[in-house]
Amino acid sequence: MSRNLSQYFSGVALKTLSAVEIDSSRSHQHEFQATAAMREFLGNPSEPLQFNATFMYLSDDEANSKVETSLLTLYNARKNKPNRAPEYRLYFRSNDSTDAAQSGDLLAICLKKNGQILVLIVERDSLAEYQVRQLFGQEPTTNPNKFEVSTGKELSNEQVSLPAKLILDSIGAGTEDNDESLISADLILDTFEEIPTGRVLSDFARSHAGFAIEDVSIDQALISWLEIEYETFQTLERRDISRRLQKGFVEPGNIDVDGFIQYSSSVINRRKSRAGKSLEYHLEHIFSTHNIIFASQEHTEGRSKPDFIFPGITQYFDDAFPASQLTFLGAKRTLKDRWRQILQEAARIPIKHLATVDTALTQPQIAEINEANVQLVVPTPIADIYPETATASFMDLSSFLKLVKDRQSTWL
């Protein structure tokens, strides 16, 4: 079963920010208009209504992104004017996110299912703006300064696949609702008493995918496995955290602050480790299933251990084997600055391939990666969340598989 956005939000409103709304030199109001359509999900309170809100400024340059918790107050500016129609506004205090905003940026006001509000301000013409609009199924309109509103019916039509889930998690809008999970929580919890190794989780995801690998594209198969594994891990992690919190971090006469910090760090590190290896494990399965010869995590020069060398480490160290028939593939769930690590690996192979399911690549980053002779391998469902201007240089997984198969056939 699939999720849709109505499981995450009660309503969403998008518009382009005008100078009068956000430019402190033009206005000191610190208010957004709350239109009649928005009040379908915000309400029509007789007295000022405060929402706990998270303000986020999203930019393709991560250093410029901001996040801050604050309050957002819905009130009727004409309460004391009974002869005039109500005029509702949303008042906010100035914060780092609103201070970073500029005229032309995208504004998204999102009411989460828990009653809290997420205020997204997204840099104009950025890939982040493209993805937020795509996430909510809204394109730029002929009247960008007018709120475009989606409530229950519209949101229920927007399906949430793994790429969208990753974006939702990155903006703090994940959900613990398991009603629409791909695998039943009971099956997961009955199968595993503790969180298993990453390889076991990957095997579990593939065995419960409900399709044969030959019946779907390789790109879609990989994303489906990752999605099942992602949900399986989340279910087990919630149980693990719940058990630990029930034990508490209070010792006789003392609150164990260090213990809490250490446990929090272990949770974060476990997430990073699992996410990084799961992509590698599924790729191993794909290559083995297609009878591709490869070496994984073998030393080349010094301490370098490429994720994959095709056809193998023996051929890599054989000077008689042509370098043009060797292929390098790195596998990283997200890139950030870590993609540069592969540049020092497998010196015999000048052009590196790098597989990723990163949903937050930026145009400058993509250009820099291309200039470094690195070919990004991005599964089609992930590539689909980027505009064509960004994906022109991407290679999908099916094409990479054909490449190594063709090279293998020349010498096997």
Positions annotated as catalytic residues are 316
> What 3 state SS string does 106-145 have?
EEEEEEECCCCEEEEEECCCCHHHHHHHHHCCCCCCCCCC
Structural contact between residues 12 and 110, judged by C-beta atoms closer than 8 angstroms: yes
Amino acid sitting at position 141: T
Are residues 198 and 273 in contact, defined by beta-carbon separation less than 8 angstroms?
yes
Burial of 14 (0-12, 13-18, 19+ CB in 10 A): buried
Q: What are the tokens at 6?
A: 């109505």
Give the tokens for residue 259: 């213990």
Residue owning tokens 């699992």: 274
The encoded tokens of residue 218 equal 């390789």
Can you read off the two tokens belonging to residue 5?
A: 């956005």
What string of DSSP letters covers 229-256?
HHHHHHHHHHHHHHHHHHH-SEETTEE-
Taking phi over 0 as left and psi of -120 to 50 as alpha, with beta for the rest, 104 belongs to: left
Q: Which two tokens stand for residue 334?
A: 């997200």
Q: Where in 145-241 does DSSP place strands (E)?
A: 148-150, 159-160
